[in-house]
Amino acid sequence: MALIVQKYGGTSVGDTERIKNVAKRCIAAQKAGHDVVVVVSAMSGETNRLLKLVSQITDRPNEREQDVVVATGEQVSIGLVALAIQAQKRKAVSFLGHQVRITTDSTFSKARIKSIDAERIVDALKKKNIVVVAGFQGQDEQGNVTTLGRGGSDTTAVALAAALKADACEIYTDVDGVYTTDPNMVPAARKLERISYEEMLELASVGAKVLQIRSVEFAMKYKVPLWVKSSFTDDPGTLVCEEDAAMEDVLVSGIAYDKNEAKIAIRGVPDVPGVAAKIFGALDEQSIVVDLIVQNVSKDGRTDVTFTVGKADLTKAKDVVKKIAKAVKAEGVETDDQVSKVSIVGVGMRNHSGVAAKMFTVLAGAGVNVQMISTSEIKVSCVIHSNYTELAVRSLHTAFGLDKQEAAQESEVVSLKR
Amino acid sequence: MALIVQKYGGTSVGDTERIKNVAKRCIAAQKAGHDVVVVVSAMSGETNRLLKLVSQITDRPNEREQDVVVATGEQVSIGLVALAIQAQKRKAVSFLGHQVRITTDSTFSKARIKSIDAERIVDALKKKNIVVVAGFQGQDEQGNVTTLGRGGSDTTAVALAAALKADACEIYTDVDGVYTTDPNMVPAARKLERISYEEMLELASVGAKVLQIRSVEFAMKYKVPLWVKSSFTDDPGTLVCEEDAAMEDVLVSGIAYDKNEAKIAIRGVPDVPGVAAKIFGALDEQSIVVDLIVQNVSKDGRTDVTFTVGKADLTKAKDVVKKIAKAVKAEGVETDDQVSKVSIVGVGMRNHSGVAAKMFTVLAGAGVNVQMISTSEIKVSCVIHSNYTELAVRSLHTAFGLDKQEAAQESEVVSLKR
């Protein structure tokens, strides 16, 4: 007998038929002898519908009030899921964020969970209920409704699993696990049986949108075993867990890409202390998130500073940077929104040298020019021209031995038949 | 400087343009020097949309979970109204039922308000906010979401006005006041400037759907002056208040009708103690609301018991009554769903005799057969064949002097021109 937290995303509860299917899955887990807590998102399209109403009222919504509006999406879902479970003759009860004291800070629209009081859930489980909890929402210490940002239901599920000391947290979504790379781009992409928290974190942060980053951080911090599964199949999915020896034997676990970046280069910046602080301080003041930063060694007392931002922030960032460039007497500002970031991720890198070098060799061999490079302990990222994204990802996927075994065997069989 | 509670119904917040208009009205009241609390309903159609989702899941929804779903309609409205006020450069803050401790009993889907803690609203008003409160919803003592039943937002508004000791409660709707009868049926219907709580109560209970009955009871109990106004015009509307001498001079203030009734007659019931208790006890067990009850004097130890129920309950009521009729050895059961109830209402009746007699004379003169009669201190109701509803209402309206003065004058003008 275990305690399992299941989380169903918007497509899994997209209509009332799918909601009945979710109810079936929850009941199956209970029949298998488990205590079941279910976290649900808003029905797909609902959050966007609500945000559209808000945008018809105002361009610059107060985030407290916007949270009041958008939090209703999950509220509708929990009621419907509880009703669907009851219609299948099992006990169920729904709870809103504030009813199980999911307490957050007051950063409306992207609040962070501070604490959860699991008592009411434990009581309801003791009475043989399947407990249905609204994802994405909480309340701050003044009792205001808060939301956790896009994908926040993942974080609700993991935080509940941690608070309840659950045996597992299962994230049900419309894909059947975590892949070595985007299967839409690379047909040979392989589903991973297991992946470490850190690798998942790097993959998530470089654009593999299976899980919200914060939920993975939470799972890592509280050592919650996290399963990514499909709500439409019975595939076992991918387990995100602590790394072990077997994982370290694999050099590269996955390849991610992000087409949503833009590059800004400030040419001929006087190489004196404090210039970088001025540039990135000014960007931070405008809430512009900077990703990669590269500064070359200086020449004749001047250097080039290059960095990337989200494409949506490019115009705003350019304005900020141009002012600073003038103030510090830099030679000029160049921007480029035709770039992509391609990253290889793997805990095995820690104990192996030459992984970055191999990446550059593979890219060079494919004729892909590398514009910027950034590395972490378990990741190497390269910024390249966006036209080469697919070529780069496919070449790296093959070179680092990630292509599907079955695919390879199948092609052999095909060869034999010829 | 006064404290005003305004309530806007579903059609008044039916789309984002109308919501902006509501914001304008709230701001106008604040600019006139008042503290303003606004209660809003769900956008028109929204509650039905949510109930449809529920019905797609199950025929017999658990009412706790249904309340969780339908309470979201008002939550969306308060966020949008607060945003619309802010977009017009005034301070606003929204509150859900539980956030201002609108505590109810646990009768889900038709809960009754037990108490309100107005402190948070008073604080927000002091900070110059227009305070926007969700109608229709509260929470019980265990912290469960409850709803107050159709029209419950009226009750929220009046209860808030009572708790805040407001100077007035203004109910904005899609009609511009309370009429002497349904203006769609009787073009000569006249808007009333004032009406007493008790008359309003009788009119509401006999089918004039301007205000929820409970809200009028609340207003009467706490002496809250209640204005019924249109949110689309600047008409002063109708004031519902305590009765005064002038009101008592008027014999009949209004005429109501209800086409939604059905009649059940049990013929030849043995006239022994306890039979009526058996019949109406059994109906009550099935939650069937009985309206008029008439029992004739007995003849040969047997009597006829006739009563009315809502048309929707007829089949269920018939089944119950047939069983009882058999058990008590009655002669038979007859039903008729082609009936209407027509009522005349007025506090002046208390001090005048002959009002009922005049009603019967008028109906007889128009050839309308009266099937059942029921009277209260300030009301006389007759059940008639539904085909005669319009004829009865129009005849009574003219006979009791309620026809529009203007209408009469207009027709004179027309005559002169000929």
What is the reported pTM?
0.83
Asked whether B345 and B253 are in contact (CB, 8 A), the reply is yes
pLDDT value for B416: 35
For residues B16 and B158, membership in a common domain is answered with: yes
Any domain includes A108 = yes
For residues B149 and B263, membership in a common domain is answered with: no
**CATH number assigned to the domain comprising residue B154:** 3.40.1160.10
For residues B267 and B367, membership in a common domain is answered with: yes
Q: Smallest Cβ distance to A99: which of B80, B93, B143?
A: B143
Question: Band of the pLDDT at B129, cuts 50, 70, 90?
Answer: very high
For residues B168 and B284, membership in a common domain is answered with: no
Domain boundary among B174, B193, B217: B174
Q: pLDDT tens digits, residue range A162-184?
A: 999 999 999 998 888 999 998 88
pLDDT value for B325: 92
Percent of chain B with pLDDT over 90: 72
As given in the structure block, the two tokens for residue A72 are 């209703």
Domain boundary among B142, B174, B206: B174
For residues B168 and B265, membership in a common domain is answered with: no
User: At A239, is the secondary structure helix, strand, or coil?
Assistant: strand
Low-confidence ranges of chain A (pLDDT < 70): 206-208, 405-418
pLDDT value for A390: 95
Q: pLDDT tens digits, residue range B39-52?
A: 999 999 999 999 99
User: At A135, is the secondary structure helix, strand, or coil?
Assistant: coil
Residues of A in contact with B57 (CB under 8 A): 16, 19-20, 80, 83-84, 87
User: Does the beta-carbon distance from B79 to A66 stay under 8 Å?
Assistant: yes
For residues B168 and B274, membership in a common domain is answered with: no
pLDDT value for B245: 81
pLDDT value for B208: 64
pLDDT value for B151: 82
Question: Band of the pLDDT at B206, cuts 50, 70, 90?
Answer: low
Query: Within an 8 Å CB–CB cutoff, is residue A84 touching chain B?
Result: yes
ipTM value: 0.81
pLDDT value for A251: 86
Question: Band of the pLDDT at B377, cuts 50, 70, 90?
Answer: confident
Any domain includes B229 = no
Looking at the predicted structure, is the pLDDT value of residue B138 above 80?
yes
pLDDT value for A406: 53
For residues B7 and B147, membership in a common domain is answered with: yes
As a whole number, mean pLDDT of residues B137-160 equals 94
Asked whether A345 and A252 are in contact (CB, 8 A), the reply is yes
Q: Smallest Cβ distance to B54: which of A66, A80, A96?
A: A80
Any domain includes B315 = yes
Q: pLDDT tens digits, residue range B242-280?
A: 988 888 888 899 999 999 899 999 999 988 888 888 889
User: Does the beta-carbon distance from A80 to B19 stay under 8 Å?
Assistant: no
**CATH number assigned to the domain comprising residue B367:** 3.30.2130.10
Tell whether A104 is in a known binding site: no
Q: pLDDT tens digits, residue range B69-91?
A: 999 999 999 999 999 999 999 99
pLDDT value for B365: 93
Looking at the predicted structure, is the pLDDT value of residue B144 above 90?
yes
- A127-141, A198-212, B95-109, B392-406 — which is least confidently predicted? A198-212
CA B140 to chain A, closest CA, distance in angstroms equals 12
Domain count, chain A: 1
Any domain includes B224 = no
Higher-scoring residue by pLDDT: A292, B97: B97
**Which of A62, A109, A133, A144 should be substituted to probe chain B, the one whose Cβ sees the most B Cβ atoms within 10 Å?**
A62
The mean pLDDT of chain B is 91
User: Does the beta-carbon distance from A94 to B68 stay under 8 Å?
Assistant: yes
- Spell out the residues 6+ positions from residue B383 whose beta carbon is closer than 8 angstroms to its own: B261, B263, B292, B308, B339, B340, B341, B370, B371, B372, B373
Asked whether B396 and B360 are in contact (CB, 8 A), the reply is no
User: Does the beta-carbon distance from B58 to A16 stay under 8 Å?
Assistant: no
User: At A187, is the secondary structure helix, strand, or coil?
Assistant: coil
Any domain includes A290 = no
Strand order in the sheet with B370-376: B290-295, B302-310, B254-270, B332-345, B379-385, B370-376
Any domain includes B25 = yes
For residues B163 and B264, membership in a common domain is answered with: no
**Which of B24, B52, B53 should be substituted to probe chain A, the one whose Cβ sees the most A Cβ atoms within 10 Å?**
B53
Tell whether A74 is in a known binding site: yes
pLDDT value for B411: 37
For residues B161 and B59, membership in a common domain is answered with: yes
Instruction: Determine the number of helices (DSSP H) and then strands (DSSP E) in chain A.
Output: 14, 18
Q: pLDDT tens digits, residue range B299-337?
A: 888 888 899 999 989 999 999 999 999 998 999 999 999
Tell me which chain B residue has its CA closest to the CA of residue A65: B79
Residue B127: give the domain boundaries. 3-174
Any domain includes A377 = no
Residues of B in contact with A54 (CB under 8 A): 79-80, 83
The residues pairing with A169 across neighbouring beta strands, listed in sequence order, are A5, A226
Any domain includes B204 = no
pLDDT value for A409: 41
Domain boundary among B125, B142, B174: B174
Long-range interactions of B215-221: CB distance < 8 A, separation 24+ = B215/B151, B215/B154, B215/B155, B215/B157, B215/B158, B215/B171, B216/B158, B216/B240, B218/B113, B218/B155, B218/B158, B218/B159, B218/B162, B219/B158, B219/B161, B219/B162, B219/B169, B221/B162
CA B60 to chain A, closest CA, distance in angstroms equals 8
Per DSSP, the residues of A292-353 read EEEEPPPBTTEEEEEEEEEGGGHHHHHHHHHHHHHHTT-SEEEEEEEEEEEEEE-GGGGG-S
User: At A255, is the secondary structure helix, strand, or coil?
Assistant: strand
Residues of A in contact with B69 (CB under 8 A): 75-76, 79-80, 83
